[in-house]
Amino acid sequence: MLEVFIFSTLNGLVTGLLLFMLASGLTLIFSMMGVLNFAHASFYMLGAYFAYSISLHLGFWMGLIFAPLIVGILGAVVERFALRRVHAHGHVAELVFTFGLAFLIEEAVQFFWGPDTKNYQSPDILDFPLFTLFGQEFSAYRGFMIAISVGIFIGLYYVLTRSRIGIIIQAAITHPHTVANLGHNVPFIFMGVFGVGTALAGVAGVIAGPVLTTFPGMAVVLGSIVFVIVVIGGLGSLGGAFIASLLIGLLQSYAIASNVGMPDLLNLVGLEFSRDHPLTDLWTLTLPQIAPILPFLLLVLVLIFRPTGIAGKREQ
C-alpha cells in the first residue's frame, strides 16, 4: 500500500507541476489583458512539435532551448499583429479569436507534421531509473521534469515579486494608465508577457512530449484541464494556480490508485443490486473509472460555492 501511495504522490507531482507550467502562463496573460487564451494549450503542442523536429537534427537539449523561444516569438507576434487589433472590439471578440486560433494551430500541425503519433524520445542521458522502490522504477526523466517545473516556478515567482520588471508588470496589471504615464511602454509589456506565457507553454510541451506522446490531439486533451485549474486557483492568481495544479494532479493520481467505488459504498449501507438492474452502470461505478473527470466535478463545486477560486480576488 505504501508503495502505491509514494508512487501516486510522485505521479501526481509530475502531472501537477506540468499543468502548472501551462496554467501559470494562462493566468498571467489573463490577469494582464483580461483575455482567456483558448489557444494556450495549442502553443504547448507547438512546443512539443518544434522540439521534436529540432531533436531530429540537433538533439533534445537544443530543442529544449530553441523550441520555447520559437513558440514565445510566435506568441508575441500573435499578440502584436492580431490580438491587439481584435482587442479594440472587446473581450468577446478576443475570446472568439483565440478559440479560432486553437483550431487553426491544430490543423496546421496536422498539415505540416501529419496526423500520426511522432516518435519524440527523451534524451539517452536521462534514460536510466533514478531510483527503484518496491520493484518499481522512477525514471530520471520524470525527476528532470519535476526539477525543471520547480525551477520555473521559483524563477517566475522571483522575477514577478523581487525584480524591477516584475514590479512594472504588476503595476501594469492594476494601473496600466499610470504606468504608461511614468514612461513605460505598456503595449510592449503586454506583448512580452504574452510571449513569455506562450513560451512557458512551449517548455511544458518540450518536456511533456516524450512522456505524454506527441500527437495532434495533445492540446485538446490538456486544454480543458488547464482552464479548470485557472478557475479553481482563482483567475489571475499565480499562487492559486500553483496550488490548484498540484491539487488536481494529486487528486487524479490518488483517485486512479484507489480501489473504492459504488459497490463498496452500497455494501456499507447494506444494499446490493443485481447486474441486470437498469442502472447497473451507476451501481458498479468505481473511483478510478471517473478519475479523469473529477477535476470538472471540482470545477462545478468551486463555481457554486466559491466562485472566486482558491486565491482569486473578488470582481468589482
Partner 1 sequence: MMRLFSNTSLKLLLVSLLIQGSSLASAQEPIRIAFMDPLSGTFASVGNSGLKQLQYAAEELFNSRGGILGGRMIEIVPLDNKQSPTETQIQFRRAVSEDIRIIFQGNSSAVANTLNSTITRHNRRNPGQEILQINYSAVDPILTNEECSFWHFRFDAHAIMKLNVLTDYIAMNPDIKKMYIIGQDYSFGQVVADTSIELLREKRPDIEIVGNEFHPIGQVKDFTPYVTKIVSSGADAVITGNFGADMVSLARSIIDSGLEIPIYTFYAAYDGITATLGADGVDKIRLIHNDAGNPIPTQERLEYIQKFKRLNPDNDMTQHRITNALQMLVKAMEESQSTDPYDIALALEDMRFVNMSGEELWMRGEDHQIIQSLHISVHTDQNIVVDADNSGFGLLREYSVPAENTIMDHSCRMQRPRR
Binding residues for partner 1, rule: CB under 8 A, are: 3-4, 7-8, 11-12, 14-15, 106-107, 110, 114-119, 121, 129, 132, 134-137, 139, 141-142, 211-213, 215-218, 220-222, 225, 252-253, 256-257, 286, 288-293
Least distance from partner 1 to the Cβ atom of residue 45, Å: 12
| Nearest distance, CB of residue 220 and partner 1, angstroms | 6
Alpha carbon distance 31, 34 (integer Å): 6
Q: What is the per-residue burial (b if ≥16 Cβ within 10 Å, else e) of 261-285?
A: bbeeeeeeeeeeeeeeeeeeeebee
CA pair distance 289, 256, nearest whole angstrom? 7
The residue behind cell 463555481 is 303
Nearer residue to partner 1 within complex by CB, 123 or 288: 288
Closest distance of CB 260 from partner 1, Å: 13
The distance of closest approach from Cβ of residue 233 to partner 1 in the complex, given in angstroms and rounded to an integer, is 18
Quick one: which of 18, 40, 20 has its CA closest to 194? 40
CB closer to partner 1 out of 61 and 128: 128
- Residue nearer to partner 1 on the CB measure, 179 or 207: 207
- Give the separation between CA 148 and CA 174, rounded to whole angstroms: 30
DSSP code per residue over 162-224: HSHHHHHHHHHHH-HHHHHHTT--HHHHHHHHHHHHHHHHHHHHHHHHHHH-B-TTHHHHHHH
Of 151 and 292, CB closest to partner 1: 292
Decide: helix, strand or coil at residue 7. Answer: helix
Smallest gap from residue 150 Cβ to partner 1 (A):
18
Query: Min. distance of Cβ 69 from partner 1 in angstroms?
Result: 25
Other C-beta atoms closer than 10 Å to the C-beta of 134 total 9
Instruction: Give the shortest CB-117-to-partner 1 separation in angstroms.
Output: 3
The minimum distance between CB 137 and partner 1, in angstroms, equals 4
Neighbours of 130 (CB within 10 A): 15
Nearer to partner 1, 66 or 138 (CB): 138
- Cβ atoms of 170 and 28 within 8 Å: the answer is no
**Residue 134 or 305 with smaller CB distance to partner 1:** 134
Q: Computed from CA positions of residues 240, 15, 132, 122, in that sequence, does the dihedral angle turn out positive or negative?
A: negative
Closer CB to partner 1, residue 136 or residue 161? 136
Nearer to partner 1, 129 or 155 (CB): 129
CB burial of residue 30 (10 Å; 0-12, 13-18, 19+)? buried
